[in-house]
Amino acid sequence: MKILVCTDGSEQSQKALEKAAVIAEGCNVDEVAIIYVYEDKLDFSPLRHNGESTITEEDIERFRKLNEEHKEERKKILSEALKIFEGKNITTRTIFEEGHPAHTIVNIGCDEGFDMIVVGSRGRGGLKKAFLGSVSSAVVQEAKNCSVLTVK
């Protein structure tokens, strides 16, 4: 059995990590992978007025530097998630990808032959939907070749 567990640093993704660790500990698991997918959009078009840019090159450079700092923070979240499995002596790898979260999770889950995707019911997206977050809902809808466990 291969398990792909999703994290974004939220409380719900923490619960998903813990549930995946319990499942992996109690089953004959061949592989566990923790995935963090982030979207970086460097679209400055809304900052134009009458075709003229309202930002400077220095502004763009500051934004890129801040973006890199956020990327490092995301990698730390992934490293912390890994500790849950290391503490249980479960061999786990990490996946850090840029892209649309739901699509990327489903594509990796299917392309790499995972049997189960474990995802929290809501992440950092705030009030997205009444019962499921937008990423978890999309993963449930789009994953055709593997089971999805949504953890509340």
pLDDT tens for 84-135 read 999 999 999 999 999 999 999 999 999 999 999 999 987 555 444 433 468 9
| Section 37-54 average pLDDT | 67
Residue 28: per-residue pLDDT: 83
Give the domain range for residue 19.
2-39+74-151
Residue 63 inside a domain? The answer is no
Position 129 scores a pLDDT of 42
Residue predicted with more confidence, 116 or 53: 116
Rg (CA), the chain: 18
Q: Is the pLDDT of residue 65 over 50?
A: yes
- Judge whether 52 lies within some domain: no
| Helices 11-26, 57-86: inter-axial angle, 10-degree rounding | 30
Q: Give the pLDDT band of residue 47 (cuts 50, 70, 90).
A: low
Instruction: Give the pLDDT of residue 18.
Output: 97
Quick check: is 114 in a domain?
A: yes
What confidence score (pLDDT) does residue 145 get?
Answer: 86
Does residue 123 belong to any structural domain of this protein?
Answer: yes
| pLDDT for residue 62 | 86
> What is the rounded distance in angstroms from the CA atom of residue 146 to the CA atom of residue 38?
22
Q: List the single range of 26-35, 63-72, 88-97, 138-147 with lowest mean pLDDT.
A: 63-72
**Alpha helix (H) residue ranges in 4-151:** 11-26, 57-86, 101-111, 134-142
Q: Give the whole-angstrom CA distance, residue 108 versus residue 35.
A: 9
Residue 66 belongs to a domain: no
Domain count, the chain: 1
Q: What is the mean pLDDT of residues 28-56?
A: 76
Q: Is residue 79 part of a domain?
A: yes
Tokens of 32: 């566990």
Pick the more confident residue, 2 or 50.
2
Instruction: Let me know if residue 80 belongs to a domain.
Output: yes
Q: How much is the pLDDT for 79? A: 95
Instruction: Output the domain CATH number for residue 80.
Output: 3.40.50.620
| DSSP code string of 53-88 | ESS-HHHHHHHHHHHHHHHHHHHHHHHHHHHHHHTT
Structural domain includes residue 49: no
